[in-house]
Amino acid sequence: MTEDELIGEIRAIAAVAAPQKLLVGIGDDAAVWQPSRSHRSVITTDALVEGVHFTSAAMPAADVGHRALASNLSDIAAMGARPVLATIALSIAPGTDPAWILDCYRGMTALAVASRCAIAGGDIVRAPATSLAITVIGEVRPSNCKLRSGMLPGDTIAVTGPLGASRAGLAVAVERPELASLPEAADALRAFRTPQPRLAEGAWFGASRNVRAMMDSSDGPSTDLARLANASGVGAVIDAVPVAPAARAIAAACGADAERWALDGGEDFELIVAVATRAFTHLATRFRAHFGRELLRIGYATEEAGVRFASGEPVARAGYDHLAGTR
Amino acid sequence: MTEDELIGEIRAIAAVAAPQKLLVGIGDDAAVWQPSRSHRSVITTDALVEGVHFTSAAMPAADVGHRALASNLSDIAAMGARPVLATIALSIAPGTDPAWILDCYRGMTALAVASRCAIAGGDIVRAPATSLAITVIGEVRPSNCKLRSGMLPGDTIAVTGPLGASRAGLAVAVERPELASLPEAADALRAFRTPQPRLAEGAWFGASRNVRAMMDSSDGPSTDLARLANASGVGAVIDAVPVAPAARAIAAACGADAERWALDGGEDFELIVAVATRAFTHLATRFRAHFGRELLRIGYATEEAGVRFASGEPVARAGYDHLAGTR
C-alpha cells in the first residue's frame, strides 16, 4: 500500500467525522474551516523525525526547529493564507540534552517571529526517537483561499524558484561532507537547513483570480504535480525543469543527475501554481517586480490524466513514500 | 531539569512569538486566541508514544486512537470549550500493518463523531516508534472560557468523578493480566483504554460564573493540583481522595495503595474545578441532577503556597515526569 492509497482509505473512514463547518478536509495542503461567516481558518500538521527527516549530527538544533516549522508554514502559504499560531508536540529521545531542546525552540521562535506566527503551546513527551509534530493555524479571506483542485486543462504551471538545492544540501551535510569546500555548498546547506517558506508569495497569489490552484512542493514535482493534477481531475506535461545552481554544481561533483534532484529531491518548499495561460506573462512580470525573482514556468495542464515529459515519457513518482517501509 | 522547569524555559524563549491575537499561550490546558471580536478559539496538542503511553500488545488499535483523541478532547473540555476539528500526525514504526493504522483511525473517528469533532487532516511519517500527535481546535464564548489561573483562597476544589481506575486498568492490561478475571477488571480496562472526555461537563462549568478555574486531571491531582494552584498563585489542601471502586479492588489484589493510584496514576481525564465555596452545594446539586453523578469535593484553596494533605503533610508530586529520562 502506498502513502497516497493509505491516505485515501483514511479519508474514507474519517469522512463521517466532517461537520458542516469543515470546508476542506484530508487531502489538500491544509484543512479549511469557517469559524464565522466572514472568516476562513486553515490548519496543517507536519511531523519531522530524527533519522528520517533530519539527523542531529547533520544539523544544529536551531535548524531542526526552523525546518520543522518552515515545512508547516509552507503548507499555510500554499493555501494563500497567513499564519496565526503554532503548537509543537516534541518527542525526546532518552538522554537528550535540555540545551538541545531549548536551541530547537530558539530556531522555531526566530522563524515564528519573522513570520508573525505565535508559538502557542504544545506537549513534550519521552519517546525512543526525537521528533517534532507541528500544527499551524492560519487565516485567509474566503476569496483568497487556493486549493489543489482548481487547475484547468491549458493552465500554465510554474514554481516560485529553482529546485534541487535542498537535495544538494543533504548530499553535502550527510552523504559527501568533503564537498563542503565547493563554493556552492553554502547555498545548498542553507536550502537544506533553513528553507524559507514562501508566505509573502502565497498571500500574493491568493489575491490573484488568475491563480487557479496552488500547493507547495515538499516531495518534489514528480510526486507533487501528480497530486495537484489528480486533485484537479486533469493531467500535466513538464517541459522545463528549473535546476538551482547549487544543485547543478553539487550533483556534478557527486556524479548525480541534477534534474532528478530537482524533480524528486523535495523539501525545496517552493510553491507550485496553476495560472490561466492568457494571464501568465503579466503575472510573471508583476511577480518579478514584486519579489525580485523569476516565476519559473515548468509546464502546462492537459485533459489527459497523468504527468508526462514533453517527449511523452511518463514522469515516475520517485519522491519519498513514507509507507515504503510498511507491509 | 523537570518537565515543568523545561516548559518554563521554553515559555521564556517563545514569549517573543506571541502577537496580540494570542490571549493565552504556553502553560494552560490549551492556548486561546481571538480570530474575531466575538470568538475565542482554543487549541491543544498531545502526543502518545508506543512503549511510553501505550503498548500495542495491551490495547487494540482502535482504543489507541480513541485514547489519543480523548486526551486532547479532555483539554478542550477543561477550557469550557467545544471541539471543532482535529489533525493527526501519525508516526509509524517499520513493519506496521496498514490494517492497524486504519483501525486506529476507526477508533478516533468513532469518538470524533460522538464528540461532534471533525477529523480534518494530518501527516503520516515513518519513525522508529509508532506515535500519534493530535491537535484539536475548539470554540468557546469569551465569557465561558475557564483558565487555570482563577482559583482564589477558600475556593472549594472538586473533581467530576472518582480517580484511579485508569491506573488500575494499566495494572490489569500490562502488569497483572491474571487479574482480568476480577469482576472490577472490565471497568478498569474501560477507563484505561477508552476514557470519556468530560466535554458536556466542561461546557456546563464554562457557563457557571461560580466556577473560577478548571483543568483536566491527566497526570493525577498530586501533580495537576500543584499546577492549578501555581497558576492561580495560591496553595491547596487535599482532604478527601475519591477512589474509583475498580481502583480500590484491583489495588487490593495487587497489594498497592489505592489512594496513591488515585492521586498519582493520572489519565482518568476527570475535570478539576475550583468553585466559589458559597455556591458549591447548589452547583453540586445541579450537577447531580444534570449528569446523574456526584461532583466530588477533594479539598480547598489556601493563601499559603504548596499542596498539602489536611494533616499538613506535603503532597509529593509523583505524577509521571517526561523529563525524568533526560540529563
Tens-place pLDDT, residues A155-200: 999 999 999 999 999 999 989 999 999 999 999 999 999 999 999 9
Confidence of residue B192 (pLDDT cuts 50, 70, 90): very high
Residues A27 and A122 in one domain: yes
- Lowest-confidence range among A99-108, B122-131, B145-154? B122-131
Is the CB of residue A23 less than 8 Å away from at least one CB of chain B?
Answer: no
A87 closest CA partner among B56, B76, B143: B76
Q: Quick one: pLDDT at residue A8? A: 86
Answer yes or no: is A64 within a domain: yes
State the cell numbers at A306.
Answer: 497523468
Of A188, A210, A191, A192, the residue nearest A295 (C-alpha): A210
Question: pLDDT band at residue B38, thresholds of 50, 70 and 90?
Answer: confident
Residue A323: the pLDDT is 53
B21 with B82, same domain? yes
The answer to whether the CB atoms of B6 and A131 lie below 8 A apart is no
Question: If you average pLDDT over residues A256-275, what whole number do you get?
Answer: 96
Give the residue on B whose Cα is nearest the Cα of A28. Answer: B121
Residue A149 falls inside a structural domain:
no
Q: Which of B144, B169, B196 is at the close of a domain?
A: B144
* Mean pLDDT lowest among A47-51, A147-151, A183-187, B297-301: A47-51
- Judge whether B248 lies within some domain: yes
Q: What residues in A contact B36, CB-CB < 8 Å? A: 35-36, 38-39
Show the cell assigned to B81. 470549550
CATH of the domain at A181: 3.90.650.10
Q: Which residues of B touch A47 (CB under 8 A)?
A: 89, 91, 123, 125, 127, 133
Q: How confident is the model at residue A17 (pLDDT cuts 50, 70, 90)?
A: confident
Residue of A nearest to B17 (CA): A118
pLDDT score of A320 more than 80: no
Q: Which of B95, B122, B144 delimits the end of a domain?
A: B144
Chain B: closest CA distance from residue A245 (Å): 30
Residue B243 domain-assigned (yes or no): yes
Question: Of B85, B117, B128, which has the smallest distance from its Cβ to A31's Cβ?
Answer: B85
Name the more confident of A255 and B39.
A255
A109 to B51: CB separation less than 8 angstroms, yes or no? no
Note if the pTM is more than 0.90. no
Q: Count interface pairs A-B at CB distance under 8 A.
A: 282
CA distances from A280 to A202, A205, A284 (A): 16, 12, 6
Is the per-residue pLDDT at B325 higher than 90? no
Greater confidence, A75 or B327? A75
Q: How far apart are CA B101 and CA A9, in angstroms?
A: 10
Q: Tell me what the mean pLDDT of segment B192-207 comes to.
A: 97
Torsion angle, alpha carbons of A259, A265, A267, A273, to 10 = 50
Residue range(s) defining the domain that contains residue A283: 156-309
**How far B299 CA lies from chain A's nearest CA (Å)?**
28
**What is the torsional sign of CA B245, B250, B252, B253?**
positive
Residue A107's nearest CA partner among A65, A67, A53 is: A65
- Dig out the grid coordinates for A5 from the structure: 492509497
Closest by Cα among B226, B229, B199, B195 to B212: B229
CA distance A103 to A62: 5
Give the least confident one: A28-42, A147-161, A260-274, B144-158. A28-42
Query: What is the Cα–Cα distance from A37 to A19, expressed in whole angstroms?
Result: 15
Cβ neighbours of B327 (radius 10 Å): 11
Using the predicted structure, report yes or no on whether residue A73 has a pLDDT greater than 50: yes
**A119 to B26: CB separation less than 8 angstroms, yes or no:** yes
User: For position B131, what pLDDT does the model report?
Assistant: 92
**Domain-located, residue A79:** yes
Determine the residue of chain B that is closest to A42 in CA distance: B120
Helix (H) or strand (E) holding B288: helix B277-291
Tell which residue, B122, B102, B84, B125, has the closest CA to residue A28: B122
Boundary-marking domain end, from B119, B144, B169: B144
The string of pLDDT tens digits covering residues A219-264 is: 899 999 999 999 999 999 999 999 999 999 999 999 999 999 999 9
For residues A90 and A132, is the Cβ–Cβ distance under 8 A?
Answer: yes
CB atoms within 10 A of CB A267: 24
User: Confidence band (pLDDT; 50, 70, 90) for B327?
Assistant: very low
* Spatial separation of the C-alpha atoms in residues A6 and A247, rounded to whole Å: 32
Same domain, A96 and A173: no
pLDDT at B278 over 90: yes
Instruction: Give yes or no: residues A129 and A168 share one domain.
Output: no
Q: Which positions ≥6 away from B64 have C-beta within 8 Å? A: B48, B54, B56, B104, B107, B132
User: Residue A126: which CATH number?
Assistant: 3.30.1330.10
pLDDT the model gives residue B81: 96
CA distance A242 to chain B (A): 28
Residues 304-323 of A with CB under 8 A from B: 322-323
pLDDT at B20: 66
Please check whether residues B60 and B103 belong to one and the same domain.
yes
| Partner B contacted by A43 (CB < 8 A) | yes
Together in a domain, A301 and A161: yes
Confidence of residue B323 (pLDDT cuts 50, 70, 90): low
Integer CA distances (angstroms), B37 to A35, B64, B77, B236, in order? 12, 38, 22, 35
What is the number of domains present in chain A? 2
Residue A165 lies in a domain: yes
Using alpha carbons only, what angle is made at residue B149 by residues B148 and B151, rounded to the nearest 5 degrees?
95
Q: Do A118 and B25 touch (CB under 8 A)?
A: yes
Q: Which residues does chain A have within 8 Å of residue B137's beta carbon, measured at their own beta carbons?
A: 33, 41, 43, 137
Q: Is residue B116 assigned to a domain?
A: yes
Decide if pLDDT at A20 tops 70: no
Chain A positions in Cβ-Cβ contact with residue B113 (cut-off 8 Å): 16-17
**Same domain, yes or no: B15 and B118:** yes
Q: Is the pLDDT of residue A326 over 50?
A: no
pLDDT at position A327, please?
32
Q: Please give the backbone phi and psi of residue B309, each rounded to the nearest 5 degrees, phi first.
A: -80, 170
Task: Quote the DSSP letter at residue A294.
Answer: P
Structure confidence at residue A12 (pLDDT): 87
Contact yes or no for B67/B195 (Cβ under 8 A) = yes
Beta bridge partners of A164: none
Cα Rg for chain A, rounded, in angstroms?
19
Shortest Cα distance, chain A CAs vs residue B16, angstroms: 7
Would A169 be classed as within a structural domain? Answer: yes
Q: Compute the nearest-CA separation of B90 from chain A (Å).
A: 8
Mean per-residue pLDDT over chain B, rounded? 91
Cell numbers for A72: 508547516
Identify the pLDDT of residue A106.
Answer: 95
B102:A31 CB<8 A = no
Cα–Cα distance, A189 to A168 (Å, whole number):
8
A91 touches chain B (CB under 8 A): yes
Higher pLDDT, B319 or B18: B18
Dihedral of the alpha carbons of B114, B118, B123, B128, in degrees to the nearest 10: -10
**pLDDT of amino acid A31:** 86
Measure the CA–CA gap between A259 and A266, rounded to whole angstroms: 12
Rounded to an integer, the average pLDDT of A72-100 is 93
Mark whether A120 and A206 lie in a shared domain: no
Task: Check CB contact under 8 Å for B323 and A124.
Answer: yes
Write down the pLDDT at residue A4: 79
A173 and A100 within one domain:
no
Average pLDDT over residues A276-280: 98
Average pLDDT of B64-79?
95
pLDDT computed for residue B314 by the predictor: 95
| Residues A46 and A191 both lie in one domain | no
pLDDT the model gives residue B326: 36
The amino acid occupying position A95 is G
Mutation for A interface: B43, B82, B106, B215, most A CBs within 10 A:
B43
Q: Which of residues 121-150 of A touch B (CB under 8 A)?
A: 121-129, 131, 133, 135, 137, 139
Does B307 score more than 80 pLDDT?
yes
Query: Please, what's the b/e burial string for B74-105 (b: 16 or more CB within 10 A of its CB; e: otherwise)?
Result: bbbbbbbbbbbbbbbbbbbbeebebebbbbbb
Same domain? A52 vs A122: yes
DSSP state of A143: G
Q: Chain-wide mean pLDDT for chain A?
A: 91
User: What is the nearest CA distance from B207 to chain A, expressed in angstroms?
Assistant: 20
Q: Which three cell numbers stand for residue B324?
A: 525524568
Is B85 in contact with A27 (Cβ distance < 8 A)? no
Strands B296-302 and B235-238, sheet pairing: antiparallel
pLDDT band at A104 (very low <50, low <70, confident <90, very high): very high
CA distance A282 to chain B (A): 35
Buried b (16+ CB within 10 A) or exposed e, B285-307: eebeeeeeeebbbbbbbbeeeeb
**What pLDDT does A319 receive?**
60
With an 8 Å Cβ cutoff, are A131 and B135 in contact?
no
Among A50, A3, A51, which residue's Cα sits nearest to residue A27? A3
Domain co-membership, A166 together with A187? yes
Does the complex come out with an ipTM higher than 0.85? no
Task: Give B219 to chain A, closest Cα distance, Å.
Answer: 13
Q: Are A152 and A235 in contact (CB under 8 A)?
A: no
**For A27, which residue in chain B has the nearest alpha carbon?**
B121
- Residue of chain A whose Cα is closest to the Cα of B96: A326
Cβ of B1 under 8 Å from any chain A Cβ? yes
